[in-house]
Amino acid sequence: MPGGDVVEDGPDSWRDLPEEVAAVLRLGAEIGAHGVRRRLGPLLETPLTVQQLRCLTALVADGSGTPAHLSELLQVSPATTTGIVDRLVRAGMVDRAPDARDGRGRVLSPTAAGQRVVRELLASDVETDAAVLAGLTAEELAALHTGLGGVLRVLRSRDPAR
């Protein structure tokens, strides 16, 4: 799909679907491709390495963590984890504090700056989404609202937690 080409085909499993369903899936795939290209910019602009991003993301997701936990999660040696964390601390993305349960250990927590980096990389591009929606006609917007409401209804009916 480079260059914004229309998705002419999809996976073989789409061939057995009604054409109307396959057409919606193709449109969704093309919209998804635009979203991926839009989101790659911030990822390519970050000075963080993949391992640093993984470490920071884990800390943001969990709220905090120990170096031992991060070593296990990242599947790297404790020495490698120390190097990754040292760089994140110097960059102002992570704080180190003594572990209240074990005075010899450390607890790592993402700073506000670290949380912001992860949020910017992973969050929906709300401003762009709003601009796209604002460009739709009233009829298109109403139809999209009805269609998305139907998708949500089906998702909710399939959710075993409900």
- What pLDDT does 1 receive? 40
Q: What whole-number distance in Å separates Cα of residue 66 and Cα of residue 74?
A: 12
Q: Name the 3-class secondary structure at 76.
A: coil
Contact partners, residue 66, CB within 8 Å, separation at least 6: 99, 105, 106, 107, 108
pLDDT at 35: 79
User: Token pair of 127, please?
Assistant: 């401003």
pLDDT of residue 5: 42
Q: What pLDDT, on the 0 to 100 scale, is given for residue 7?
A: 45
Per-residue model confidence (pLDDT) at position 6? 44
As a whole number of angstroms, the distance between CA 78 and CA 86 comes to 12
Report the C-alpha gap between 134 and 23 in whole angstroms: 23
Q: How far is residue 143 from each of residues 22, 133, 137, 138, 149, measured CA to CA in Å?
A: 18, 12, 10, 9, 10
Q: What global pTM score does this model have?
A: 0.60
Q: Which residues pair with 65 in a beta bridge?
A: 108
Distance of CA 125 to CAs 34, 41, 82, 93, Å? 12, 12, 33, 22
- Enumerate the β-bridge partners of residue 107: 97
| Residue 133 CA from chain centroid, whole number | 21
Mean pLDDT by 10 residues, the chain (162 residues): 50 86 89 80 81 94 92 94 96 92 88 90 73 93 93 88 65
For residue 150, what pLDDT is reported?
A: 92
